[in-house]
Chain A
Amino acid sequence: MLVKKKKGIFQEFYLVEILKGLYITFKNLFFARKVTLQYPEERRNYSERFRGVHYIKATNGVENCTACMLCPTVCPAECIHIEAGERADKEKYPIRFEIDVLRCCFCGMCEEACPKDAIKLSSIYEMSTTYREVYDKSFLLEQRGNK
């Protein structure tokens, strides 16, 4: 049901209300805290759990990954492609490790699935490019965080 609100004489007469509104905007103009973040100089603080660009953790210059294929299995976007190989000491390692970032949805399931603590999501979020990028192994091996 439409209830007609009773208005006072001052509300009927627009101008007083308009003056009130002008007063409010005037207060905002000079005295309100501005919420703008001046981006390249100021940055937002994200939490430690933020999921950004991937990297493969390395110990003593050797990647932790053993090409167990758990991350491509769990990946809902099917964006991880691994080609496994064998080292001289019979240990498995990835010959190719590629992430198609255009498909990646940054869910972090790979990070959770990894038994070797190899694939990690860093806190870097600036990843815009002018071409369709696929992260290869050499790119992923740059250590981008300390997780």
Chain B
Amino acid sequence: MDTFDWIVTGAKAAFLVVILLHVVPIMAWVERRGSALIQNRLGPNRVGPLGIFQSLADAVKFIFKEDPVPGHVEPFYYVLAPLVSLVPAFMTFGVIPFASSIQLGDRMIHFQVADLNVGLLYVFSIASLGVYGIIMAGWASNNKYSMLGSLRSSSQMISYEISMGLSVIGIVMVFSSVKLGDIATQQGELLTHFGPLLLPEALQFPRWGVFVQPVGFLIFLVSVFAETNRLPFDLPEGESEIIAGYHLEYGSMKFAMFMMAEYLNMFTASGLLATLYLGGWQLFPGMGYVLHEVQAYFQMSALAGDWTRIVFEVVSFGIKVGFFMWFFVWVRWTLPRFRYDQLMDLGWKVMLPLSLANILITSVFIFFGWV
């Protein structure tokens, strides 16, 4: 790596960190306003226009609040736990591409902090590290409710990680790559088959993961809810049963770090869903036409045209991710919490066989060359 590469990578990482740090307060606001509107209330609307600065006020409160360490906890692990759950949450988004690439001179710049050749596996390995923070918090809190919360979290993680991983195998088989950049690029091609049927020219649509792997998409979507501890699978928190679960003993900024980790996990999950199943940075139908019109209207040079394309792709990716972020909030305020045995039933008796069947059927399709 020479200086240029260092600068480019640093700029991409800085861009991503800034985005990630802004996602949390915005999502906290969206969650509060969204939940309020769904429940026919208005929600926080006083601080700033539409209450958008409410999160800022909350952040100030979190920072300046007294931060006591209760006497009965294990201080070292108690302080470490929020960090352990926050750091992986920041790390995962690095391999998700948020735009395609651009040619600068003789160099290719990929809009992705690290194009690892183990892309997808990296996401899974780092994302499952987050549960260590939760277990550590529950154990170090030395409190029965916290302990129950973290136990639930770990068992939930085990049951759903399997079906999540298996559902993605379908995608990996179809696009024959675990590099997220490759997967996103290949989704720009057209889907020529509908099962054994050959589609006519007019009916061919982009080969997005959701069209190639509809069942895999559903399983992945449900598993992601369990993975990020969001309702209807937020048993580790379960306010009415175990008060707040693993973060019961935490206050001020330590609690805020758990909350940040939750929202960042949501953001990564949305990015992953968009990349794997909705074509990642691929433009929406119609946006390509608009892009050409814009390029022609302003008579852009090749470089300026390329940068416009990048902006369009980032916007397209943003819309997809934003939709899933909103979907998380929307589902949270629609569905009640699952009972614990129902959660386990769903995980082991429905999702696991379904994802195995999905792999089987996908391999049959690939064998006959239908996908």
Q: Are A28 and B38 in contact (CB under 8 A)?
A: yes
CA distance A34 to B42 in the complex (A): 7
Query: When chains A and B are docked, how far (Å) is the Cα of A68 from the Cα of B38?
Result: 57
Question: Shortest CB–CB separation between residue B334 and chain A, in angstroms?
Answer: 5
B72 within 8 A of A: no
Are A29 and B34 closer than 8 Å at their CB atoms?
yes
- Chain B hits for A36, CB < 8 A: 36, 41-42
Contact, CB under 8 Å: B330 / A22: yes
Complex Cα–Cα for A38 and B36 (A): 14
The answer to whether B41 touches A25, judged by C-beta atoms less than 8 angstroms apart, is no
Residue A3 interfacial (CB < 8 Å): no
* A25/B333 in contact, CB under 8 A: yes
* A29 engages B37 (CB within 8 Å): yes
Report B-chain residues with C-beta under 8 Å of the C-beta of A15.
218
Please, what's the 1-or-0 string for B19-41, where 1 marks a CB less than 8 Å from any CB in chain A?
00000000000000010111111
Question: CB-CB < 8 A to B37: which residues of A?
Answer: 28-30, 34
Residues from chain A with a CB closer than 8 A to the CB of B290 are none
Known: A15-B218, A18-B335. A25 touches B330 (CB 8 A): yes
B interface residue count range (under 10 / 10 to 19 / 20 to 34 / 35 or more): 10 to 19
Contact between A22 and B218, CB atoms less than 8 A apart: no
Bound complex: CA of A38 vs CA of B38, how far in Å? 18
- A6 close to chain B: CB less than 8 A: no
The docked-state distance in angstroms from the alpha carbon of A18 to that of B347 is: 17
- Please determine whether B40 and A26 come into contact, CB atoms closer than 8 angstroms: no
Closest residue on chain A to residue B332 by CB atoms: A25
Cβ-defined partner of B40 (8 Å) among A18, A21, A22, A34: A34
Complex: chain A residue closest to B42, CB-CB: A36
Is B331 interfacial (CB 8 A cutoff)? yes
The verdict on A25 contacting B42 (CB below 8 Å), with A15-B218, A18-B334, A18-B335 known, is no
Question: Which residue on B lies nearest to A28, using beta carbons?
Answer: B38
Residues of the B chain whose Cβ atoms lie less than 8 Å from the Cβ of A4: none
In the complex, what distance in Å separates the CA atom of A25 from the CA atom of B36? 11
How far does the alpha carbon of A18 sit from the alpha carbon of B41 in the complex, in Å? 22
Chain B residue at minimal CB-CB distance from A14: B346
Q: Find chain A residues with CB under 8 A from B335 CB.
A: 18, 21
Check B41–A34 contact: CB distance below 8 A.
yes
User: Which A residue sits closest to B232, measured CB to CB?
Assistant: A18
CB nearest neighbor in A for B36: A36
Within 8 A of A (CB), among B310-343: 330-331, 333-335
Q: Give the complex CA separation of A32 and B41 in angstroms.
A: 10
A32 to B333, CA, bound (A): 15
B333: chain A residues within 8 A (beta carbon): 25
Contacts of B42 in A (CB 8 A): 34, 36, 38
A33 at the interface (CB under 8 A from B): yes
Q: A127–B213 Cα gap in the complex (Å)? A: 63
> Chain B residues with Cβ under 8 A from A1's Cβ?
none
Could you say which residues of chain B place their CB within 8 Å of the CB of A25? 38, 330, 333-334
Q: Are A35 and B41 in contact (CB under 8 A)?
A: yes
Q: Which residues of B contact A32 (CB under 8 A)?
A: 40
Q: What separation, in Å, do the CA atoms of A82 and B37 have in the docked complex?
A: 52
| Chain B proximity mask over A14-52: 1 for CB below 8 Å, otherwise 0 | 010010011011101110111110100000000000000
Does A21 contact B334, Cβ atoms closer than 8 Å?
yes
CB distance from A34 to the nearest CB of B (A): 5
The residue in A32, A33, A36 that gathers the most chain B C-beta atoms within 10 A of its C-beta is A36
Can you list, as one digit per residue, whether each of A83-126 has a CB less than 8 Å from chain B (1) or not (0)?
Answer: 00000000000000000000000000000000000000000000
The digit string for B42-82, where 1 denotes a CB below 8 A from any CB of A, is 10000000000000000000000000000000000000000
Output the nearest chain A residue to B37 by Cβ-Cβ distance. Answer: A29
In Å, the complex CA distance between A95 and B42 comes to 50
Closest chain B residue, CB of each to CB of A19: B334
From residue A20, how far is it (CB to closest CB) to chain B in Å? 10
Give the distance in Å from the alpha carbon of A24 to the alpha carbon of B37 in the complex: 12
A28 and B39 contact, CB distance less than 8 A: yes
Tell me which of B34, B40, B331 contacts A33 (CB under 8 A): B40
Per the bound structure, the CA–CA distance linking A26 and B34 in Å amounts to: 10
What are 6 pairs between A and B in contact, CB < 8 Å? A21-B335, A26-B330, A28-B40, A29-B37, A34-B42, A35-B40
* Nearest 8 pairs of A and B residues by beta carbon: A36-B42, A25-B334, A21-B334, A25-B38, A29-B37, A32-B40, A36-B41, A29-B38
B residues at A contact (CB < 8 Å): 34, 36-42, 218, 330-331, 333-335
Given contacts A25-B330, A32-B40, 14 further A-B contacts (CB under 8 A): A18-B334, A18-B335, A21-B334, A22-B330, A26-B330, A28-B37, A28-B40, A29-B34, A30-B37, A33-B40, A34-B40, A36-B36, A36-B41, A36-B42
